[in-house]
Structure 1
Amino acid sequence: MSWVNVCNESTLPQGTGVAAWVAGKAVAIFDLGQHGLYAIDNVDPATGVSLLARGLVCDMEGVLCVASPLYKQHYSLETGICIEDEALVASPYEIKKEAGQVLILAKS
């Protein structure tokens, strides 16, 4: 596994998601400012559609989540586990900001 430079941190929108192609996979990135930087699979496990970056970010009983735009399942931004159905998981990625860049640890 290796760190992949995704973008300059100044181009990353805050409070919403953006999709990026990282080592052949679609990744949803969420910069929530003081609440953290998160990355999970962009593909919704319930539908197979690549759209989680377009979902609404919300707090479900203290868990930061993204709501899938199609059927509204909520995926934890930390673990990727679906709140409504734990069998559905949008795998999380390690992500960090370093020297003004946003880096994601690519999975093999």
Structure 2
Amino acid sequence: MTIETTATSELGVTWHEVCTLKSLSRERGAAALVAGTQVALFRTHDDRVFAVQQLDPFSGANVMSRGIVGTRGDVPTVASPMYKQVFDLRTGGCLDPVGKEPRALQTFPVHLDGDIVSVGLPGGQGGR
């Protein structure tokens, strides 16, 4: 069994199985409701999966899964579909605030166990 993680810290995380890797299109986003939290999932061309908050911190709309997936060098990114701010999918950091004060996205750890994609939420919210 191989488990890959796209998170820097897993302390205090509760894991939730969300979908299969096959159900996520490469270079596209998908929205998921995970234990009451809206999450945007992104599968990159190399089959890594990243999870960030669905809420666009600039517009206040739940639209991040509709963003444009890309890269800046080796950094996987998503551009907001609203005002086009660009975010690092690994850290949530805003790489291009488009003239506004930078705001970050919350990121969530992701585990791939075979074809199963699990997202980690902070605290003891359900899951395994």
**Could you say what secondary structure the match of 1:53 adopts?**
helix
User: Residue in 2 aligned with 1:58?
Assistant: 70
Q: Is the 8 A contact 2:26 2:47 kept in 1?
A: no
Measured against aligned partners, the alpha-carbon deviations of 1:27-78 in whole angstroms (never above 9, x if no partner) come to: 1101114162111111111111111110101122442210001100001100
Residue of structure 1 aligned with 2:43, choices 27, 31, 53: 31
User: Residue in 1 aligned with 2:22?
Assistant: 10
CA distance in 2, matches of 1:71, 1:25: 23
Q: Please, which runs of 5 or more residues in structure 2 have no aligned partner?
A: 1-12, 124-128
Q: Is the 8 A contact 1:9 1:100 kept in 2?
A: yes
Q: Which amino acid aligns with 1:17?
A: G
Name segments (4+ residues, structure 1) moved above 4 Å: none
Q: Please, which runs of 5 or more residues in structure 1 have no aligned partner?
A: none
Count, aligned residues: 108
CA distance in 2, matches of 1:6, 1:32: 17
Q: Which has the higher contact order (CA 8 A, sep 6+)?
A: 2
CA distance in 1, matches of 2:47, 2:26: 10
CA distance in 1, matches of 2:73, 2:61: 26
Superposition pairs of residues 21-100 of structure 1, within 5 angstroms: 21-34=33-46, 36-85=48-97, 87-100=102-115
What percentage of residue pairs aligned between the two structures are identical? 31
Of the two, which has the highest radius of gyration?
Answer: 2
Query: TM-score if structure 2 supplies the norm length?
Result: 0.76
Query: TM-score if structure 1 supplies the norm length?
Result: 0.89
